[in-house]
Amino acid sequence: EVQLVESGGGLVQAGGSLRLSCAASGFTFDDYAIGWFRQAPGKEREGVSCISRTDGSTYYAGSVKGRFTISSDNAKNTVYLQMNSLKPEDTAVYYCAASPDPRGVGVRPDYEYDYWGQGTQVTVSS
């Protein structure tokens, strides 16, 4: 059974940090690019970051570049999203997803991902 399980969300003050984790199982981790998305109430889902499985290239949306860092621990089949200098506008449910195209092609659209986690809530207070 394919599973992506996010954790690490919570409530933090503006300027604070959180680290999200995405634990993957049930598929060959090295064959899938992993991305992070977020969706705020009343807004469309937004691609945040992606990490390539071929060369480890990383990609970020402009709104988070310089503040968020995606990384991968292959031994644990886990991808992380370190979020620093958080802003109230970062408040959303954050999802990780797996794309069967392992190449680094940017923060790809959500329809290119086959598997999704259940999401974890991040709330940034002002």
Q: What is the dihedral of CA 117, 115, 18, 83, to 10 degrees?
A: -150
Model pLDDT, residue 118: 97
Residues 60-72 as b or e (16 or more Cβ within 10 Å = b): bbeebeeebebeb
Q: Provide the sign of the torsion angle of the four alpha carbons 125, 51, 98, 44, taken in this order.
A: positive
Model pLDDT, residue 104: 81
Tokens 């599973």 found at: 3
Nearest to 32, CA basis, from 123, 124, 112: 112
Tokens of 22: 């995405």
Tokens of 58: 């990383």
Q: What is the mean pLDDT of each run of 10 residues along the chain (126 residues)?
A: 96 98 94 96 96 93 97 96 98 97 88 96 97
Tokens of 98: 């797996």
Model pLDDT, residue 59: 96
